[in-house]
Structure 1
Amino acid sequence: MSSAALPLLIGLLALVAFWLDAARARELASALAQTLCQRQGVQFLDGSAALESLRLQRTPKGLRLRRVFSFSYYSEEAGRRQGTVTLVGAQIKAFRIDEHTQVEG
């Protein structure tokens, strides 16, 4: 293997690791949104959550990715609405549905 191929291979592996982590976070956010909708008695729409923002956040364990996912739901009273789920690393930090906000430690 040439010396030029090694940085390319490392970069490719880092990209694949980031992509897999992003897919896992999206699946987690979608599952959380669906559970939240069931608990609130509203219908989870579209079957998934979409990444709304991505940034680094400092935590006691070092830098982690902070991801905010949005999702749609339907309420008989209010119609189609938006909610959010916030993850820092793999930890749930906050979620919002309707005008109710829940913040976790």
Structure 2
Amino acid sequence: MALRKKGNFKFNNRLLEFLFNPKALPFTLTFTTLAVLFVGFRMKGIEQAYQLNTIEQDIHKATIRNKELKAQRASEMSVPKLREFAVKYDLKEPGPEQIILIP
């Protein structure tokens, strides 16, 4: 069984008396409030950093997907694909009477 030192107990007792002393109580409460607020703001900052990182990853994925879709559209709009599409659906170039010029 461990025994406490008498001097250590006196120090803890004196510390509690000082902290809850009517003169020091406003300081103790102010310091405690500031410490809790500091921890809360720090945690909120870390949480927002995680959210920002997630949003940046989503933007990066969307950018890559957009590039892939643009490449796919370019390949679908290529001349050989359009000619193949025209043959498949029996399309032909318009005649001169079908072309209308808008001034």
TM range (shorter): 0.3 to 0.5
Higher helix proportion, which one? 2
TM-score (structure 2 length as normaliser): 0.39
Higher strand proportion, which one? 1
Structure of larger gyration radius: 2
TM-score (structure 1 length as normaliser): 0.38
The one of the two structures with greater contact order (alpha-carbon pairs below 8 A, sep at least 6) is: 1
